[in-house]
Amino acid sequence: MSDEDDIILSELNDEELVQQMFDDLYDGLKEEIEEGVNILLERGWEPYRILTEALVGGMTIVGHDFRDGILFVPEVLLAANAMKGGMAILKPLLAETGAPRVGKMVIGTVKGDIHDIGKNLVGMMMEGAGFEVVDIGINNPVENYIETARTEGADIIGMSALLTTTMPYMKVVIDGLVAEGIRDDYIVLVGGAPLNEEFGKAIGADAYCRDAAVAVETAKEWMARKHNQMSA
């Protein structure tokens, strides 16, 4: 048995536990991550704090080492899987606000791109804020966004891209909405690590959102504007 196996998570203080969760996420240890999340919940941590400080914090470290060629795809997949285990525990808690439905969002990752952690996080936070979320998954061609937005009667279309090679596809989707004459029927929000404000403007999105918390605030603002316009 290695020293690692001897660590009893519940005996660590909060700070040590979060550090240990960073290591466990790095090592792709899903069960340990789930246990860590449960311990922090028992200690009274807010679900959103666990999400941002322990899980997203850990994933940031993984991201740096992936960028620097220290970690490779199989390891990052394991880390992502461990993160999803933790997110699954937090999801119902984040959605538990009981707020009235404030709007409906279709969200998906664009064609050619399979990254979904950020998208899932945005979806969870939006649900937590009272939005109804229709998740169309990854690798979505323009038709998927348009058809789903139409059939679901969505207010918001959210697109995610994590690759510099897939982010231009967001413009293809917006151009598709324009071609159908329905661009102004939807609030279009875009996000993903390689994007920025200028890119969002350049492709004709309504807003770029840096993270899930900003996505929620932005969605609320735009929904309020939409209602004002309708009643004007």
Binding site for ligand B12 (CB under 6 A): 56, 59, 62-63, 66-67, 73, 76-77, 80, 107, 112-119, 121-122, 158-160, 162-164, 189-194, 209, 211-212, 215
CB of 1 to ligand B12, least distance (A): 30
CB of 213 to ligand B12, least distance (A): 7
Cβ closer to ligand B12: 63 or 93?
Answer: 63
CB of 11 to ligand B12, least distance (A): 29
Cβ closer to ligand B12: 172 or 193?
Answer: 193
Cβ closer to ligand B12: 85 or 191?
Answer: 191
Cβ closer to ligand B12: 39 or 117?
Answer: 117
Strand order in the sheet with 103-109: 131-135, 103-109, 156-160, 187-191, 207-208
CB of 32 to ligand B12, least distance (A): 18
Pseudo-torsion of CA 39, 66, 135, 41, nearest 10°? 10
Tokens describing residue 58: 């850990």
Q: For residues 98 and 117, what is the distance between their CA atoms, to the nearest angstrom?
A: 24
Q: For residues 67 and 164, what is the distance between their CA atoms, to the nearest angstrom?
A: 14
CB of 223 to ligand B12, least distance (A): 14
Cβ closer to ligand B12: 159 or 173?
Answer: 159
Tokens describing residue 120: 């899932």
The answer to whether the beta carbons of residues 113 and 61 sit under 8 Å apart is: no
- Helix orientation angle between 117-128 and 212-231, rounded to the nearest 10 degrees: 50
